[in-house]
A and B are shown apart, each in its own frame.
Chain A
Amino acid sequence: MSVKQQELEKSWQQYKTQQRKKNLYYAFLTVLSVVVFLAIWEAVVRFQLVNVRHLPAPTVIFQTFIEKLHSTVPDGNTLGQNVIASLQVSLTGFFFAVLIGVPLGLLMGWFEPFDSFVRPLFELLRPVPPIAWIPVVVVFLGIGLKAKATIIFLTVFVSCVINSYAGIKLTSRTHINLMKTFGAGTWETFFKVGVPSAMPMVFTGLRVSIGSAWSTLVAAEMLAAKAGLGYMLQVGRGVGDARIVVLAMVTIAALGATLSALLNTLEAHTLKWKEMR
């Protein structure tokens, strides 16, 4: 038994070393892909394969980035102010949507009467695309933080509800019956079995919605704002400064990727029990 255990332990260590090497290799490929992309971009611009006025090179973007850290031209905000404005809006909307949407979806999926009560309203709101809310929201809430956060909220809310609902519906019958034989009530089973069963789907919902939150935000800022990355992009276009436009795009991309990476880390930590494919 113990000999077998040792052998197992040894091969497990080997497997882990192998995995670590593999992960390092993948990380290298990721970095390589970005570097190659930037190099091609730089080359295309340097050798005038396109008009430089329309496409600034990565080095120029980097320069603009440095300048824009303290310059408020042309949109009236530094890059940092724009980033903070955008993050504030998207994270506020995102957190409230998660805070309300996830429990709502879970409860709808667990308690059928509650489902029948809430579902008609939800089904009516669901098909409205988030951007379509913008005019209504602007009328009622103006163009401040509250207005834009509300639009983000609506985007994220829907996918939080849907995924949590679907997730808790997947709870194994056997697990529910097991809790019943222990003598657990429906609430206890909800918290101890329903909620953990739903977590993988909940995280799928979060991952999908943080992406859409970010893109909706940019759209919202392009329509109505005084600060933010979407606003910066819009102003840059207005004054015909491609550098500002591209810098805004790159910042949006980088922040979006960072947010998903953070979420992935949180997911890996919360779902460490799960077999990762």
Chain B
Amino acid sequence: MENIAEKNIDTRPIKVEVKNLTKSFGDLLVLDNLNFNIRQNEFVCVVGPTGCGKTTFLNCLTRILEPTSGDLLINGESADPKKHNLSFVFQEPSIFPWATVEKNIACGLEVKRVPKDEIERRVDRILDLMGLRDVRKAYPKDLSVSTAQRVIIGRSFAMQPDLLLMDEPYGQMDIKMRYYLEDEVIRLWKELGSTVVFITHNIEEAVYLAERVLILSNKPAGIKEEVIIDLPHPRDITDPKFIEYRNYITDQIKWW
């Protein structure tokens, strides 16, 4: 596997630097001295067992939590949601029930004080991309779970975030909707050129999406291994090379 990684060296500039990141809750050490970089426009998947600290890592990156020690840099500066254009798809449902679909999508842009006509333009584009045009005036109570999830994903892409963080966004979806939304994320990532960190505990999903997979070890979480998935998108889950990657990562995870 390693020689594949060396074949085409990534020359994209570094977007996120994680330096000696450590986080503990009282006596419980959750993140143990993490060090890695994420490049501009890269699609990284993070896999690890439930409770190993994946959400905690994202929460540190967005400053919902303060790291115990170490730092996270975005474009060389300490991460700060007020300065950086971040967007986070939470593991829990996060649609605003009191706002229509279009207002939900516009919400982050309003916080960022994007001009009104630009907000309109971007919301229209996302509504088209996500197939939400017909429900733009609907309230979340009238949407199915998967449509609501599409709104949440659309909302985070509308930000045209420097850095898009997704925390097991498809964990609750049925398999058909998941496949559809996986392709959707790839399409939006390519069209908008965002940098994506996608957390999942589904190995197939990780191999399907990622350019690079970070495998976290069990508590306290450290980086067990990085695997570069050198396959073009869209990927075929029945391709022998795909299966080879999937089995390789599954083997690594057996050591959890």
Residues in A lying within 8 Å of B, measured CB to CB: 1, 5, 172, 174-175, 177-184, 188, 192-193, 196-197, 199, 272-275
Task: Tell me whether A181 and B139 are in contact in the complex, defined as CB-CB below 8 angstroms, given that A175-B96, A273-B99 are known contacts.
Answer: no
Q: Which of chain A's residues have a CB closer than 8 A to the CB of B82?
A: 183
13 contacts between A and B (CB under 8 A): A179-B111, A180-B64, A181-B64, A181-B81, A181-B86, A182-B111, A183-B112, A192-B110, A192-B111, A273-B99, A273-B139, A274-B141, A275-B141
Q: How far is the CB of B142 from chain A (nearest CB, A)?
A: 9
CB contact list, B148-205 vs A, under 8 A = 159, 165
Asked if A174 and B81 make an inter-chain contact with CB atoms under 8 angstroms apart, the answer reads: no
Bound-state CA distance A192–B140 (Å) is: 17
Bound-state CA distance A273–B143 (Å) is: 11
Q: Which of chain B's residues have a CB closer than 8 A to the CB of A177?
A: 59, 62, 64, 88, 90
Asked if B62 and A181 make an inter-chain contact with CB atoms under 8 angstroms apart, the answer reads: yes
Q: Which of chain B's residues have a CB closer than 8 A to the CB of A183?
A: 81-84, 86, 111-112
Q: Which of chain B's residues have a CB closer than 8 A to the CB of A272?
A: 139
Asked if A175 and B94 make an inter-chain contact with CB atoms under 8 angstroms apart, the answer reads: yes
Asked if A273 and B140 make an inter-chain contact with CB atoms under 8 angstroms apart, the answer reads: yes
Bound-state CA distance A175–B104 (Å) is: 12
Task: Tell me whether A188 and B111 are in contact in the complex, defined as CB-CB below 8 angstroms, given that A5-B134, A177-B90, A182-B159 are known contacts.
Answer: yes
Asked if A174 and B94 make an inter-chain contact with CB atoms under 8 angstroms apart, the answer reads: yes
Asked if B107 and A192 make an inter-chain contact with CB atoms under 8 angstroms apart, the answer reads: yes
Bound-state CA distance A175–B97 (Å) is: 10
4 closest Cβ contacts across the A-B interface? A196-B98, A182-B111, A183-B82, A181-B88
Bound-state CA distance A181–B63 (Å) is: 8
Q: Which of chain B's residues have a CB closer than 8 A to the CB of A180?
A: 62-64, 81
Bound-state CA distance A199–B98 (Å) is: 10
Q: Tell me, yes or no, whether B118 is within 8 Å of chain A by CB.
A: no
**Nearest A residue to B82, CB-CB:** A183
Q: How far is the CB of A200 from chain B (nearest CB, A)?
A: 9
Tell me the interface secondary structure of chain B in the complex. Answer: loop
Interface size of B by CB at 8 A reads: 32
Q: Tell me, yes or no, whether B108 is within 8 Å of chain A by CB.
A: yes
Asked if B90 and A178 make an inter-chain contact with CB atoms under 8 angstroms apart, the answer reads: yes
Asked if B134 and A174 make an inter-chain contact with CB atoms under 8 angstroms apart, the answer reads: no
Q: Which of chain B's residues have a CB closer than 8 A to the CB of A174?
A: 90, 92-94
Bound-state CA distance A177–B64 (Å) is: 7
CB contact list, B58-101 vs A, under 8 A = 59, 62-64, 81-84, 86-88, 90, 92-94, 96-100
**Nearest B residue to A184, CB-CB:** B111
Bound-state CA distance A147–B112 (Å) is: 48
Interface centre among A5, A182, A192, A196, by most chain B C-beta atoms within 10 angstroms, is: A182
**Nearest B residue to A272, CB-CB:** B139
Q: How far is the CB of B96 from chain A (nearest CB, A)?
A: 7
Bound-state CA distance A173–B139 (Å) is: 21
**Nearest B residue to A195, CB-CB:** B98
Q: How far is the CB of A273 from chain B (nearest CB, A)?
A: 4
Task: Tell me whether A182 and B96 are in contact in the complex, defined as CB-CB below 8 angstroms, given that A177-B64, A273-B139, A275-B141 are known contacts.
Answer: no
Bound-state CA distance A182–B89 (Å) is: 11
Bound-state CA distance A32–B105 (Å) is: 47
**Nearest A residue to B109, CB-CB:** A182
CB contact list, B105-140 vs A, under 8 A = 107-108, 110-112, 131, 134, 139-140
Q: A177-B62, A184-B111, A192-B107 are in contact. List 20 more A-B contacts (CB 8 A).
A: A1-B131, A172-B94, A174-B92, A178-B94, A180-B62, A180-B63, A180-B64, A180-B81, A181-B86, A182-B87, A182-B108, A182-B112, A183-B82, A183-B111, A192-B111, A272-B139, A273-B97, A273-B99, A273-B139, A274-B98
Bound-state CA distance A175–B95 (Å) is: 8
Q: How far is the CB of B73 from chain A (nearest CB, A)?
A: 17
Task: Tell me whether A274 and B90 are in contact in the complex, defined as CB-CB below 8 angstroms, given that A182-B111, A188-B111 are known contacts.
Answer: no
Point out the residue from B59, B98, B110, B165 that lies within 8 Å of A273, measured CB to CB.
B98
Q: How far is the CB of B62 from chain A (nearest CB, A)?
A: 4
Q: How far is the CB of A106 from chain B (nearest CB, A)?
A: 15
Q: How far is the CB of B58 from chain A (nearest CB, A)?
A: 9
Interface centre among B59, B86, B96, by most chain A C-beta atoms within 10 angstroms, is: B96
Asked if A182 and B94 make an inter-chain contact with CB atoms under 8 angstroms apart, the answer reads: no
Q: How far is the CB of A164 from chain B (nearest CB, A)?
A: 16
Bound-state CA distance A249–B166 (Å) is: 61
Q: Which of chain A's residues have a CB closer than 8 A to the CB of B141?
A: 273-275
Interface centre among A1, A178, A197, by most chain B C-beta atoms within 10 angstroms, is: A178
Asked if A181 and B87 make an inter-chain contact with CB atoms under 8 angstroms apart, the answer reads: yes
